[in-house]
Amino acid sequence: MFHWTHEAQVKLERKLFAQVAAASFPCVGAKSALAHGRLTVLACDRIDSAWDDLRIHEGLLRFAQDYRADPVIFQSYAVVFDGPTDLTEREFEAALWARVQSLSDKDVWRGQEYDARVSADPVNPHFSLSFGGEAFFIVGLNPNASRPARRFEHPALVFNLHDQFERLRDAAQAWLLRQARRLFTERLDHFAPQLGVRWQRLSLSSAHTRWGSASADGSIRLNWRLIHFGESIIDYVVVHELAHLREMNHSPRFWDHVEAVLPDYAERRGALRDEAVPRW
């Protein structure tokens, strides 16, 4: 169904590949997809016309189906249009959303279920587009984009899988958790002798309002999001919790223990208060 090739397929594909391969192109995911042969390109006629919408939607269905069969990360589906190349940003945005609406209508017409992991409501924080049962987010490229990273000599829509983003984020978070445990253990071992205490067990938390806690049995609990901060702030929280193994309160004696190890603890404490809490 709709398996014909646009006369500009080879030309537009080569141009996009060259753009992605350029050192100035910022998207690491697209570069990886290209390097592994998983950047699929469909050449079409005009972004301001519905002429190719059935071909685009058919390609998205195949792409979603192939991903479910082999969910390898770093895959992208790019639709590159031969023109027009003189659209303003506003005109490009209007054409982009016209294509999205047309593709969404065809998804419903062809009986495709909306990806249950996301919302179809644009005001919902979990909103995402869905084609062929898979959620996507779209990056638009335009010859006249104000942002250099979004410029390409032909209009283009790059469809990226929401599931792929979630998997990448989970992998990145798992890596950060490992780094946090390694660094926190190292800093606990460094400061415990200076405070004359022994800690027994480290656990990581994901609290949004508390950076750490300590128990009389020597257990230390630290917020893994501290890994986003500099070592001076991490050291302050580590020393603060270790000092609680000497004094389970915030009495003057407690602060004396902290100051004995970190004379500038007040500055570090202030810096921690001024920092925004990372979401992940």
Q: What is the SS3 assignment for 54?
A: helix
| Amino acid identity, position 124 | N
Quick: pLDDT tens for 263-272: 999 999 999 8
DSSP string, 202-254: EEEE--SS--EEE-TTSEEEEEGGGGGS-HHHHHHHHHHHHHTTT-SS-SHHH
Cα angle value 138/143/149 (rounded, 5°): 60
Sheet holding 156-161, edge to edge: 39-46, 76-83, 156-161, 134-141, 129-131
pLDDT, position 95: 98
Higher pLDDT, 273 or 96: 96
**In 36-54, which positions are buried (b, 16+ CB within 10 angstroms) versus exposed (e)?**
eebbbbbbbeebbeeebbe
Domain boundaries defined on the chain: 9-169, 196-274
* pLDDT (average), residues 107-135: 95
**Residue 40 clears pLDDT 90, i.e. is over it:** yes
**Residue 279 clears pLDDT 60, i.e. is over it:** no
CATH superfamily of 196-274: Metalloproteases ("zincins"), catalytic domain (3.30.2010.10)
pTM: 0.69
